[in-house]
Amino acid sequence: MSRPIPCALTIAGSDSSGGAGIQADLKTFQELKSYGMSVITSVTAQNTTGVQGVHHLPPVMIKQQLEAIQADMPLHALKTGMIADIRMMKVVAEAIPYFQAPYVMDPVMVATSGDVLMESEARFYLREHLIPLTNLVTPNIPEAEMITEKNIESAADMEASAEHIVHGFGAGAALVKGGHRMGEALDVLYDGKKMYRFTSDRITTKNTHGTGCTYSAAITAYLSQGVPLEEAVRRAKVYITAGIRHGFSIGKGNGPTNHWAIREEGARDECH
Ligand SMILES: Nc1ncnc2c1ncn2[C@@H]1O[C@H](COP(=O)(O)OP(=O)(O)O)[C@@H](O)[C@H]1O
Ligand SMILES: Cc1ncc(COP(=O)(O)OP(=O)(O)O)c(N)n1
């Protein structure tokens, strides 16, 4: 019997410049050989210098997209990115349990450019109602600080934050990403039992637009293929590191990551 085609879904915002959001997620799914589907929450007018405009889709349209997938499409893993307000979050929270697939949440709050992508009161809804539905949450350091309301200064603080997100807020696992620190690019994963560290050299580049989206999409793609969580993160870290190392100097600001990097450069051994 032939194996089913791995199917992955992203519920996120559209980035017109193609570096983050839905576009980054679908490029990642495609490159990693999972069939990609999308539910668009908001449309952003965005480029490498920042976000110039945002239009939120009506929650009923988000619901319709989710129902269209539920009615017809197989699904083996899903992720969420930008969900800007509570009304949208409610629709997503109702839909997630019906999918019965691993759920990865990238709790997108603020873009690297400083543009706000989630209303501040929605953070509490996300924490109370969406995080308990997750198999994995992937905050960067400012997002982890907002979720736990505790400062992160050190690697030990990152680990404490990951534990807090799991035991305090009910996430299945937490991956706290160290892209916003100095020194080596350290991420910590806590799965409720064990702590893991993933590191790579810090790459000197300004082309980091969409790194968080791409990383969580790569984890989702591997999960859709049945790869266990720790191994999915390990492989995704290799993917994002190569993507940053060979990032594109496109546009006047922070260019996007390169989804062909592993295929073209064979950049397999850059992480430990
Ligand atoms: N300059 C860099 N060099 C190497 N890895 C990086 C760099 N910046 C970010 N990363 C890695 O990219 C991934 C995304 O992290 P981060 O940038 O913190 O997320 P976000 O885009 O959500 O802010 C993490 O694995 C992080 O360690
Ligand atoms: C539509 C949209 N969604 C998410 C982001 C944020 O992307 P992320 O990969 O977390 O980080 P930066 O691109 O801001 O580095 C976005 N910009 N747009």
25 CA from centroid of ligand 1 (Å) = 16
Q: Residue range 119-127: average pLDDT?
A: 95
How do beta strands 77-80 and 103-105 pair? Answer: parallel
Say whether 41 is catalytic. no
Is 264 buried (19+), middle (13-18) or exposed (0-12) by CB count in 10 A? Answer: exposed
Report how far residue 111's alpha carbon sits from residue 83's, in angstroms, rounded to the nearest whole number.
Answer: 13
Q: Where are the domains of the chain?
A: 7-265
**Over the Cα atoms of the chain, what is R_g?**
17
Assign 99 to helix, strand or coil: helix
Query: At 200, is the pLDDT very low, low, confident or very high (cuts 50, 70, 90)?
Result: very high
CATH class of 7-265: alpha beta
- pLDDT tens track for 164-181: 999 999 999 999 999 988
Q: 3 CA distance to ligand 2 centroid (A)?
A: 33
In this structure, are strands 77-80 and 185-190 parallel, antiparallel, or unpaired?
unpaired
Catalytic residue flag (residue 212): yes
Residue 271: band (very low, low, confident or very high) from pLDDT cuts 50, 70, 90: very low
* Main-chain phi, psi angles of 64, to 5 degrees: -65, -40
Instruction: Map residue 30 onto helix, strand or coil.
Output: helix
For ligand 2, say whether the CB of 127 is within 6 Å of any of its atoms: no
How many of the other CB atoms lie within 10 Å of CB of 58?
Answer: 11
Q: Kindly indicate the confidence band of residue 112, based on its pLDDT and cuts at 50, 70 and 90.
A: confident
Segment 45-100, tens digit of pLDDT: 999 999 999 999 999 999 999 999 999 999 999 999 999 999 999 999 999 999 99
User: Is the full-model pTM beyond 0.90?
Assistant: yes
Q: Which of 172, 212, 247, 255 is catalytic?
A: 212
Probe residue for ligand 1, chosen from 215, 219, 258 as the CB with the greatest number of ligand atoms within 8 Å:
215
User: If we measure between CA atoms, which residue out of 236, 244, 250 comes closest to residue 265?
Assistant: 244
| ipTM value > 0.90 | yes
